[in-house]
Amino acid sequence: MVGPQKHPLILPRPPNFGADARPDPFHAKIENAFARSEPLDRTALPRDAFIDPTGQNRAAIEALMAQVSGQILDHLSQAATRSPLPPLAAGDKTGLDLPTTIPPLPTAIAPLLNHLQTLMGQAMNPAHPGYMGHMDPLPSTLSLLGDWVAAALNNNMLSVEMSPGFSRLEPLLMQDIARLFGLGPQAGGLLVSGGSLANLQAIAVARNVKLKVQQQGLAGLTRPPVLLASELAHTSIRKAAMVLGLGTDGVIAVPTDGANRMDVAAVEAAIAAALAAGPFALVATAGTTVTGSIDPLAALGAIARRHGLWFHVDAAYGGVLVFSPRYRDRLQGIDQADSVTFNPQKWLYVTKTCASVLFRQFDHLHQHFQIAAPYMNTDTGWPNLGELTVQGTRHVDVVKLWLTLQHFGKAGCGALVEASYALTETFVQAVRDRPYLTLANEPEMNLVCFRGCPDWVPRDRWDDWNQALQAHLLHQGHCFLSLPQYRGQRWFKAVLLNPFTEPSTLADLFAALDRFAALGLDWD
Ligand SMILES: *Cc1c(COP(=O)(O)O)cnc(C)c1O
How much distance in Å is there from the Cα of 43 to the middle of ligand 1?
47
How much distance in Å is there from the Cα of 135 to the middle of ligand 1?
9
How much distance in Å is there from the Cα of 13 to the middle of ligand 1?
52
Q: Where are the domains of the chain?
A: 155-406
- If pLDDT is split at 50, 70 and 90, which confidence band does 240 have? very high
Ligand 1 pocket member 291 (CB < 6 A): no
DSSP-derived pairing of the beta strands 355-359 and 339-342: antiparallel
Q: How far apart are CA 126 and CA 132, in angstroms?
A: 8
The residue to mutate among 260, 314, 340, 350, having the most atoms of ligand 1 within 8 angstroms of its beta carbon, is 314
CATH tag for 155-406 (out of 3.40.50.720, 3.40.50.300, 2.60.40.10, 3.40.640.10)? 3.40.640.10
Q: Whose CA is nearest to atom 10 of ligand 1?
A: 195
To the nearest 10 degrees (0 to 180), the angle between helices 195-211 and 235-243 is 50
pLDDT recorded at residue 396: 98
Report whether pLDDT(2) > 70. Answer: no
Ligand 1 pocket member 194 (CB < 6 A): yes
pLDDT recorded at residue 93: 57
How much distance in Å is there from the Cα of 109 to the middle of ligand 1?
37
pLDDT tens digit sequence for 447-486: 999 999 999 999 999 999 999 999 999 999 999 999 999 9
- Average pLDDT, stretch 333-343? 98
Q: Give every CB contact of residue 237 below 8 A, 6+ residues apart in sequence.
A: 199, 203, 227, 229, 251, 283, 314
pLDDT tens digit sequence for 496-506: 999 999 999 99
**Do residues 201 and 338 make contact, with C-beta atoms less than 8 angstroms apart?**
no
pLDDT tens digit sequence for 71-93: 999 999 999 999 999 875 455 55
Ligand 1 pocket member 343 (CB < 6 A): yes
What mean pLDDT is reported for the chain? 92
Q: What is the edge-to-edge ordering of all strands in the sheet holding 310-314?
A: 188-192, 355-359, 339-342, 310-314, 278-285, 225-230, 251-254
Q: What is the pTM of this model?
A: 0.92
Lowest-confidence pick of 369-378, 435-444, 452-461, 470-479: 369-378
Residue 298 Ramachandran class (φ > 0 left, ψ -120 to 50 alpha, else beta): alpha
Q: Give every CB contact of residue 425 below 8 A, 6+ residues apart in sequence.
A: none
Report whether pLDDT(11) > 50. Answer: no
**Do residues 378 and 384 make contact, with C-beta atoms less than 8 angstroms apart?**
yes
Ligand 1 pocket member 134 (CB < 6 A): no
Looking at ligand 1, which atom is closest to the CA of residue 236?
A: 10
Handedness of CA 71, 73, 79, 81 (dihedral sign): negative
Ligand 1 pocket member 156 (CB < 6 A): no
Report whether pLDDT(490) > 60. Answer: yes
CA dist 41 → 2, 3, 36, 44, 420 (Å): 12, 12, 14, 6, 56
**Do residues 334 and 181 make contact, with C-beta atoms less than 8 angstroms apart?**
yes
Count CB atoms within 10 A of the CB of residue 512: 19
- Average pLDDT, stretch 354-361? 98
Ligand 1 pocket member 201 (CB < 6 A): no
Report whether pLDDT(169) > 50. Answer: yes
Q: 203: closest CA among 228, 179, 170?
A: 228
Ligand 1 pocket member 317 (CB < 6 A): yes
